[in-house]
Structure 1
C-alpha cells in the first residue's frame, strides 16, 4: 500500500485534503477514488485512508483506521556532521533515515567545503527535511528524524548535551580512541563526524575538552558520509 507523510492532524473518520507533496505523489501513481493509502504524521503509528476525490491539483481522502505500529530502532543515534558537499549530504540524510537515525545536525567546520547561511541555509534544511520524510515513506518509519538548522561547530560544542557524546577521531593522541563496538551500550548518544578532510586537530581537542569521548571505526579512512552511515548502521541495526 502506498505510504505518504501527511504532517497534519489525523483522526479516524475525518475527511481532508492531502498536503501538496502527498497529493502530487498520489497523482503520479495514478491512484483512483476507492484506492487505499497509508498516512503518517510523525506523531505515532499510521493510518489507513481511502482516496475520495482526485482533482487537477488536489486529492481528498477519508481517514479510516489507526494502527499503533512503530518501526524505530531501540537505540537513538543523533548524528552531528561536518556537511559533505554536493549531493553527498542528500545521500547521507536519505540513508541515515532509512537506518533509523534520530536526528541530524549539519555543521560548519574548518575543513567544510559547503558553506551555508541565511535563506540558503533555511532552504537546504527544508530540502533535507523533505528527503528524510520521503525516506520514511519508503522504509516504513512513522517518525521523521529532525534535521536541525545548520550551526557552526564551536557554537554547537558549547550547547548542553543530555546524553553520552562521542567524536570520531582520526588523530594519534594519548587518549586512544575506543572501537565503536565498545561504545554501543547507551540507549541514546550523539556522535560527531568531521567533513572531507576530517576535523582539525584544534576542533578535535575542543570536542574532547567539551566532554566528548574519542571513537574509532578502525584503521581505514572513510569518506565523511560513509563514516556517518557506518556509525548509524552499527548502532541501530544492533539494536533492532
Structure 2
C-alpha cells in the first residue's frame, strides 16, 4: 500500500526540508499540523511509513520512529517534475459547494492549475481572504488524499473579460482552450485529436503548453460569453447528450484529457 502523503508549508512550517542537502538517515520532527493529522486522525504508529511534500514536487519518504515526539527517519528524498502538458480548470463560481466539489475531484484526477471564474451567471461571489482560503483547503486536502506531490496552483479569480484574454494568450503560445457548452456542435473526439497533436509538439520541442477547460455555473455559460471566448480562439465543445452539473463537467473532461495524454494507464 502506498504511504499516506502529508503537505507542509515550506514558508511557515519549521521543517529542515527543501530538497537540497537532506539525506537518507536523517531524523526530523514533523510539523505540528502534520503530526496532529498523522498521529491524531490517522492513528499512525511507530514503524509506519509516510511521505512529506511541499506540494511543489518534493517527496520525502519517511518512517515514524517516535510517535510521542513526532520524529521520523528519512528513507529517501526525490523530486518529481511537472508535466510538460499542463491541465488547467477554469471553474465558474457555483452555489451550494458545487465549485468546491469540482476542484476537489479535479485535483484527484490530476489538474495542474485552477482558475476561479466569476461568470455572468454565477450566483456565488468570490470573497478575497475567505473564498480563496477555503479553496486552498480543498485543494490541499485533495492533494493529500490522492497522494500527489504537486498541489494544483490556485490563480486569482478572473472575470469573463479576463477569460477572453486567457483565450487570446493561448492562441499566441500554442495552448488550447476548451469551452464546455451544451449547444456546441464540435464533438469531443475532435478535441482529443487536437490534444494529441499538442502533446506531440510538446515532446518535439520540450516547451510546456496548457490545455484549459472552461466550465460554467449552474445556469450555464451565456451565449455572449461563448461567442466572446470562441472569437478569441477557444473551441466550444459538447461532452455528450447528457447535461452535467457544474460540479462534474470539469472532472469528466479532465478525466478524458488525462487518458488522452497517457496519464491514466
State the TM-score, normalized to the length of structure 2.
0.76
Q: Could you tell me whether the CA contact under 8 Å between 1:78 and 1:103 is conserved in 2? A: yes
In the other structure, the counterpart of 1:119 is 129
The equivalent of 1:142 in structure 2 is 149
The CA deviation at 1:78 is 0.8
Cα distance change on mapping 1:118 and 1:46 into 2, 3 Å:
closer
Task: Please give the alpha-carbon distance, in whole angstroms, between the structure 2 residues aligned to 1:234 and 1:97.
Answer: 14
Relative to structure 1, the CA distance from residue 29 to residue 221 in structure 2 (aligned partners, 3 Å threshold; closer, same or farther) is closer
**Matches for 1:58-97 after TM superposition, within 5 Å:** 59-67=70-78, 75-97=85-107
Q: Superposed, which structure 2 residues align to 1:160-199 within 5 Å?
A: 160-161=169-170, 162=173, 163-171=175-183, 177-184=185-192, 185=195, 186-187=198-199, 188-199=210-221
Gaps of 5+ in 2: 11-17, 200-209
- Is residue 37 from structure 1 mapped to residue 50 from structure 2 by the alignment? yes
Tell me if 1:21 matches 2:23: no
Q: Does 2:234 match 1:212?
A: yes
Higher alpha-carbon deviation: 9-18 or 138-147: 9-18
DSSP-derived class of the 1:225 partner: coil
Residue 119 of structure 1 aligns to a residue whose secondary structure is: coil
Q: 1:98-152 CA distances to partner (integer Å, 9 max, x unpaired)?
A: 11111111111111011023333xxx22322232222222223221111222222
Matched, 1:3 2:25: no
Note if contact 2:92-2:99 (Cα within 8 Å) is conserved in structure 1: no
CA distance 1:222–1:34, change in 2 (3 Å): closer
How many residue pairs get matched?
Answer: 230
Would the aligned equivalents of 2:8 and 2:52 in 1 still touch at CA under 8 Å? yes
What is the TM-score normalised by the length of structure 1? 0.83
Unaligned runs of 5+ in 1: none
Q: CA deviation at 1:203?
A: 1.1
Deviates further, 187-196 or 2-11: 2-11
Offset of 1:227 from its aligned partner? 1.1
In the TM superposition, residue 234 of structure 1 has moved relative to its aligned partner by 0.8
Pairwise CA RMSD: 2.5
Could you tell me whether the CA contact under 8 Å between 1:111 and 1:195 is conserved in 2?
A: yes
Equivalent residues of 1:96, 1:232 under 8 A apart: yes
CA distance in 2, matches of 1:23, 1:168: 42
State the match for 2:163 in structure 1. 156
Query: For residues 137 and 119 of structure 1, do their structure 2 counterparts lie closer, same or farther at Cα, with a shift above 3 Å needed?
Result: closer
How many angstroms does 1:53 deviate by? Answer: 4.4
2:254 aligned residue: 232
